[in-house]
Amino acid sequence: MVDPNRVKAFNEERLLDHQTHWGFLSESLNHKGIDVDKILNEIGDFQVAIPSWALGTGGTRFGRFPEGGEPSNLVDKIKDIGVLHTLNKSSGAVSLHIPWDIPKDYTAIKTLANELDIKFDAVNSNTFQDQSNNIHSYKFGSLSHIDAEVRKEAIQHNKEVINHGVELGSKALTVWLADGSSFAGQHNFRGAFQRTLDSLKEIYDHLPSDWKLLIEYKPYEPNFYSMVIPDWGTSHLLASKLGDQASTLVDLGHHLPNTNVEQIVSLLMHINKLGGFHFNDSKYGDDDLTVGGIKPYQLFLIFCELVQGMRETSNPELSWMIDASHNLKDPMEDLLQSVESIKIAYARALIVDYNLLKDAQAQNDVATSQSVLQDAFRTDVRPLVKEAIYQRGGALDSLAAYRDLNVRKKLIATRGLDSKSSGL
Ligand code: LRH
Ligand code: MN
């Protein structure tokens, strides 16, 4: 879809302007004693997994406004991620959702992904919808369901998702449960928790020894009185009872307003039980909006905890994934902007002077602690992110390149206006 030579030509027009800004920034960072080459490599190597369910227009219950040219099968989804990765050299992984994206031909899909330098990150199970071949309904839950036969079917589904992942080379299963209640008295909290734990144990025992089980929490929706796994504490309780291969997945949108998410991240890293992320942003609920589009300072503070945690704890390697849903924007433009926001937040967190911060914290010098962080946040690190991507053959401005190359127009020409992608 995207000819790398067109990306080269696109960059040539912008190189001089980039080098001016990059020259100024790298000099000022060097002046502060920052190891610029080390940061360039950390930012350049950093890959974010693209959700297979966010390459189309999910819409809301009130309406869906598709752009056209959506990928209606897994091959086209991998190809679209290939376009993103060609432009930003930062989207080298996909997170599949089963059964929305069951590969028809493992070898063909792996070959295509390999050609596009795309790896398979965590696979996601789905026991929040009834599939046509379901024997039982998940209306009243799945792993927590009062009926053992329903739990058995949900457990079997998760085992099958693991098997699909093993075929693809994935190393993690993400479990998010819609299980809960919408009316007080509808179910017994302790019973639901215990049934969920027992079900997860059977799934855990099916994990290959080098796999992770990522337990995703969410305070509400689609249940509106209680969720069986509403918060990080419950997710961690389950993960700690299951074993070392189980950890907590933090979806940024799964927090009640004003929750201190960076504190949750730091504590889970402190106990080596942070498994990964679903990056997005939100104003009110689980809005699944562009990363860093509403709370960029929170995203920066989260990465400050991640940078310190990755240097000072032995938390296992994390799964870096986006979880988004689109209705007003071109899905691929939104994903390009989200990946860029993540890299900008990470780069800002990497230029923080943590020694100065620790000294100020030791003196209870609050103003200095604040300014150490704000100095980094107020530094325009975009030239550094662009340089890292440019050095790997990507576009100096992935969104502008995407438009310049008329990608959406070409997709509509080949797939039509009405092609619909599976997912949310
Ligand atoms: C639930 C969730 C979960 C996915 C779904 C697509 O809100 O964040 O991660 O399974 O979105
Ligand atoms: Mn999620």
When computed from its CA atoms, the radius of gyration of the chain, rounded to whole angstroms, is 22
Is the distance from CB of 307 to CB of 318 less than 8 angstroms? no
* pLDDT value for 124: 98
* pLDDT tens for each residue of 68-82: 999 999 999 999 999
Ligand nearest to the CA of 178: 1
H-state helical runs in 46-188: 74-88, 106-115, 148-168
C-alpha–C-alpha distance, residues 205 and 207, integer Å: 6
Say whether 339 sits in a helix, a strand or coil. Answer: helix
Confidence of residue 181 (pLDDT cuts 50, 70, 90): very high
Residue whose CA is at the smallest distance from ligand 1 atom 2: 176
Residue 195 pLDDT > 80 = yes
Distance (angstroms) between ligand 1 centre and the Cα of 198 equals: 22
Residue 84 pLDDT > 80 = yes
Q: Is 323 in the pocket of ligand 1 (CB under 6 A)?
A: yes
In the beta sheet, which residues pair with residue 375? Answer: none
* pLDDT tens for each residue of 240-255: 999 999 999 999 999 9
End-to-end Cα spacing for the chain:
25
* pLDDT value for 412: 97
Distance (angstroms) between ligand 2 centre and the Cα of 146 equals: 25
Other beta carbons within 10 Å of 391: 13
* pLDDT tens for each residue of 316-372: 999 999 999 999 999 999 999 999 999 999 999 999 999 999 999 999 999 999 999
Q: Are strands 180-181 and 212-216 parallel, antiparallel or unpaired?
A: unpaired
Residue whose CA is at the smallest distance from ligand 1 atom 4: 176
* pLDDT tens for each residue of 399-413: 999 999 999 999 999
Residue 1 pLDDT > 80 = no
Residue 424 pLDDT > 80 = no
Say whether 121 sits in a helix, a strand or coil. Answer: coil
* pLDDT value for 423: 74
Q: Give phi and psi for 27, each to the nearest 5.
A: -65, -45
pTM over 0.95, yes/no: yes
What's the mean pLDDT in 158-166? 98
Give me 407's structure tokens: 């990608």
Percent of the chain with pLDDT over 70: 100
* pLDDT tens for each residue of 110-136: 999 999 999 999 999 999 999 999 999
What's the mean pLDDT in 297-310? 98
